[in-house]
Structure formats: C-alpha cells, structure tokens
C-alpha cells in the first residue's frame, strides 16, 4: 500500500536548469577568470605540505628582511622567514576561514529562514525582528566584538564572522520561501498531506538554493576580508601560524625598510576576493531565470 509520504509529486528536472546554468557560466569570461583564480589558490593551499618550500615558521637570523631573490622569491620577513612559504600556508587559513565561516552562516541561517518563511505567524515575527536587529549592527564591529569576547584565535574569528554574516542568509532565505511557498507544486504537496519537514526539504529548499549559492559565494569574499581584518588586528590567526592578515600587521612596521613584506599578502587577498566576486556575479547571471 502506498503511504502519503511515498507519493511522488513530479517536479521539474533539476538537471536541465543546472546544465543550462553551467553553460551560461562557462560563457562568462569574468566568472571563468574568477574560477581560475580560486582554483589556483585552493590548489596551492591544499598542496602546501607537498611543495618544495621552506618551513613557513623557520626563522633565519642571517636572512632578516631580505629583498626578493633567487633564494627567496618573495623575500623574507622581520625574523628571516620565507614570505612565499608563509603566503602559501597563509592561503590555507584565509580560504578555510572564508569557506567555513560562510558554512556556519548558511547552516545556521538557512534553517531559520526556511522556518520563518514557511510557517509565518509568531515564529516569523520573532525571527524577523531578531534578524533586523542583527542587520542593524555593522558586520565588522559585530565580528570584532564577538571575536574579542570569545577570545582571539582563528576558530573564534570564523565563528564570529559566521554569526555576523548569518542574518543576511536568514533574510534572503525567508524572502525566497515566501515567493516559493505559494507555488502550485508546494500546494500540491501540502494537499496530499506530506509532512512540513518533507515539503521544506524536498520541494522548497531545492527551489531557493540558487540565490543562497550566489550569496554564499559573494559572502566568502567578504569573509576572507573580514578574517584578514581580524588577523590584522590580532584577533584571528595567532603567531607564529601564517595568515595574510597577520603578515600585513607585521609588515606595516617595516614599510620603508622592507616594502615587499606588505605587497604580496595584500595582493593575494585582493586576487582571491576579486575571484570570488567575479564568480559570484557570474553565478548570479547564470542562475537568473530571467536571463535564459
């Protein structure tokens, strides 16, 4: 006997829109450049332990603040550490912080947005008011305050950034759910008595996923800058572990003696952030049904 839960409601194939979006993304040069930049840095971050580079924390008193040379391609820092090596290992911290903090924002924020939009009523009122309050607090100030009270380390910085970015995902998801929940296929699912949890996970979530993905990509760019900012202030990655933000923090004290110390980490942050911004813009165009 077929139970109500087993009744399948035909929904549009997810494959076709996905392949159409991928085709549009491939045709967007900016998005491809963004994807290439991200892939390059991700590869460096993953392959860091395998690359023939010096230990990023190995100091050398005979190589303090050496300009770029054949031995140290990007120069050395104030205690003789190889900047290229610290840049490559720093990519791990920056990319991990960007991705994980946005993952925290999505994993916590999206369910709240789904519940708020789907059920409405008093639950929606409470969640919406709290979200509005958090949106009224500037992102970086909230992250600094949270990181300060939680304690300065990379994990707490990621939690602080994730929680500060969360309200955007709650509001976005709620808005999308409000638009989707009146669609015929959701009404159909409800009319045959499917549980709310099934309707939300099987019929609503897949249809609100695209804008969340776009927002997540763009927020990774913001999160990478936020992590670099917190590390620059001494509230993120702690020494001697390398991170682009903390490298800049040290570099600002040696601007006239060793300008290379400041150039490369900032350039890396700029490149990665522009990569995620280009990819996010490309994804937005590719996933926009109006631009079929």
List contacts with another protein (CB under 8 A): 129-130, 132-134, 136-142, 144-146, 148-151, 221, 225, 228-229, 232-235, 248, 251-252, 255-256, 259, 262-263, 265-266, 269-270, 273-274, 277-278, 281
Q: Which is nearer to another protein, 58 or 137 (CB)?
A: 137
Decide whether 169 or 244 has the Cβ nearer to another protein.
Answer: 244
Q: Residue 235 or residue 286: which is nearer to another protein going by CB?
A: 235
State the number of CA atoms in the 13 A half-sphere of 222 facing the CB.
20
Smallest gap from Cβ 37 to another protein, in A, equals 11
| Residue pair 75/69 in contact by the 8 Å Cβ criterion | yes
Query: Rounded to whole angstroms, how far apart are CA atoms 101 and 223?
Result: 7
Q: How far is the CB of 198 from another protein (least distance, A)?
A: 32
Distance in Å, CB of 54 to another protein, minimum: 24
H helices present in 151-204, as ranges: 154-180, 184-191, 196-198
DSSP code for 4: G
267 Cβ contact list (under 8 Å, min separation 6): none
What is the separation of C-alpha 276 from the centre of its chain, rounded to a whole number of angstroms? 9
CB nearer another protein, residue 207 or residue 249: 249
Tally the C-alpha atoms within 13 A of residue 280's C-alpha that lie toward its C-beta.
18
Least distance in Å: CB of 72 to another protein? 20
CB of 180 to another protein, least distance (A): 26
Whose Cβ is closer to another protein: residue 182's or residue 256's? 256
- What is the rounded distance in angstroms from the CA atom of residue 139 to the CA atom of residue 123? 25
């Amino acid at each position: 006997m077929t139970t109500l839960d087993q009744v399948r409601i035909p929904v549009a194939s997810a494959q076709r829109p996905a392949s159409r979006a991928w085709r549009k993304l491939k045709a967007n040069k900016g998005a491809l450049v963004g994807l290439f930049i991200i892939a390059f840095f991700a590869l460096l971050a993953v392959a860091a332990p395998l690359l023939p580079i010096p230990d990023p924390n190995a100091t050398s008193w005979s190589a303090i603040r050496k300009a770029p040379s054949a031995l140290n391609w990007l120069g050395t820092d104030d205690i003789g550490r190889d900047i290229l090596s610290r840049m490559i290992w720093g990519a791990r911290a920056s990319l991990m912080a960007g991705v994980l903090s946005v993952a925290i924002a999505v994993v916590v924020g999206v369910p709240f947005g789904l519940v708020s939009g789907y059920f409405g009523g008093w639950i929606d009122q409470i969640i919406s008011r709290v979200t509005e309050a958090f949106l009224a607090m500037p992102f970086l100030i909230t992250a600094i305050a949270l990181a300060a009270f939680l304690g300065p380390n990379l994990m707490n910085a990621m939690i602080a950034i994730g929680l500060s970015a969360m309200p955007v995902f709650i509001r976005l998801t709620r808005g999308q759910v409000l638009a989707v929940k009146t669609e015929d296929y959701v009404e159909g699912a409800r009319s045959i008595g499917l549980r709310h949890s099934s309707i939300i996970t099987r019929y609503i979530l897949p249809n609100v996923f695209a804008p969340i993905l776009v927002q997540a990509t763009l927020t990774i760019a913001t999160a990478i800058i936020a992590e670099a900012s917190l590390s620059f202030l001494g509230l993120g990655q702690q020494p001697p572990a390398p991170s682009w933000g903390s490298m800049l923090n040290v570099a600002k004290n040696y601007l006239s003696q060793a300008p290379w110390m400041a150039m490369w980490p900032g350039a890396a942050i700029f490149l990665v952030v522009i990569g995620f911004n280009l990819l996010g813009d490309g994804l937005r165009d590719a996933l926009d049904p109006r631009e079929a």
